[in-house]
A = this chain, B = another copy of it.
Amino acid sequence: MIRVAIIGQGLVATHFAVGLERLKNNEIPDHGVPLGTRLPYKYSDIEIAASYDIDESKIGKSLYEIAKKSYEGPGEIPRALKDIYVRRGIHLASTRGLPIKARGREEESDLKIAVEEIIGEWSELGVDVVVNVMTTEPVEAVGSIEKLHRGFENADLTASQTYAYMAALYSSRYSSAAFINAIPSPIANDPAFIELYKNSRAVVFGDDGATGATPLTADLLEHLYERGRRVLGVAQFNIGGNMDFYALNMPERNIMKKITKSSMIEDILGYHAPNYIRPTGYLEPLGDKKFVAMIIEYLSFGEFKDELYIVARINDSPALAGLLVDLVRLGKLAIEREAYGTVYEVNAFYMKKPGPPGSKVISKFHAYLKLLKWLKLRDHRIPE
């Protein structure tokens, strides 16, 4: 069994919960789960043990009730979700500026007490994997483990950092756990957390789940690189109507995404190409199905200029939810393999900003090969 605690019961978590139960019930095929049945864990091995949020309108509700309100997809909401209730989590001002009535457990007592309570719950539930899918928060890497400990002591960390710290504490006290950081906050890219996780016999995957147009852009750039084409410039626009776009529309949160993508182009192409890649706006009627528009201009042989335009409509939350079905299983696997700290081969494929710090961004195609190799899996489509 893989027992999962979710941080942030937003749309991604809801799609994960609904999809997972429907997968277990054989109601849907496993589209959008990259490794599918090739991993040594079955879908039915995964169990959502707990969920945390700080939105007053969600706390105390069952995942079933939450899905009823926000899930707009084919099929029925699985009844199994009636048994999982949202618990009050750590707030630490992570929703500042968002239209949410929020109150964290630390606001009811004290951060230390809240932390101990939650770790206690994890221990009781036998949590293996903590999945962080809260809304994007503005934050920078801590840097050194001393500063990290101090930050925790002084309640100076963000919510994500605090949860990541808690997962390490939990691992060192009870049993090794994996922390899946699917948002841009630098955890797997923070040397402080890498050191902490190694010391604590814990695993962190991150940062920022590789969905949307960015992995596609990476592979398009790889495609152009392999043909020797010279990329002149890349512009990529994103607009959507979910809470994450609402949050990213705030300049201080938007910057998180720009950082995520900054080195990708140079790492893949081997030279700098001017670019403009970032979430661009919020348009409510688009809902969770975002609109992406992209232009790539490049020089072909003889300096002729070609143009590539991509327009895409992508269901934002389901895409990440599908990756989580792999990531929670890979988290458990990494623990079993005692791959403490982080695993580049996992991050390179599943994350936009793969840790550990200083890692190169490679195309997703190359990352996929590295992942298969780490898993000792073969690609049966490819002749030897």
Contact = CB atoms under 8 A, between A and B. Distances in A.
Question: In the assembly, how many copies of this chain are there?
Answer: 4
A247 to B, nearest CB: 16
A114 to B, nearest CB: 33
A228 interface: yes
A314 B306 contact: yes
A92 to B, nearest CB: 29
Contacts of A325: 301
A307 B299 contact: no
A130 B368 CA distance: 38
Contacts of A381: 267-268, 270, 360, 362
Contacts of A368: 226
Given A233-B284, A235-B291, A280-B237, A299 B31 contact: yes
A300 B16 CA distance: 12
A99 to B, nearest CB: 16
Given A237-B237, A295-B291, A228 B283 contact: no
Contacts of A383: 344, 360, 362
Contact of A303 (B31, B362, B363): B31
Interface on chain A toward B: helix, strand, loop, or mixed SS?
A: mixed
A305 B309 CA distance: 18
A302 B305 CA distance: 21
A261 interface: no
A315 B300 contact: yes
Contacts of A289: 306
Interface string A191-233: 0000000000000000000000001100110110011111011
A4 to B, nearest CB: 16
A85 B307 CA distance: 34
Contacts of A22: 302
A19 interface: yes
Interface string A285-314: 110010101010111111111111111111
B318 A302 contact: yes
A36 interface: yes
A239 interface: yes
Contact of A34 (B28, B227, B286, B305): B227
A282 interface: yes
Contact of A309 (B19, B298, B312): B312
A74 interface: yes
A226 B382 CA distance: 13
Given A233-B284, A310-B310, A301 B32 contact: yes
Contacts of A310: 308-311
A30 interface: yes
7 contacts: A15-B301, A28-B303, A32-B301, A228-B322, A276-B280, A285-B297, A308-B312
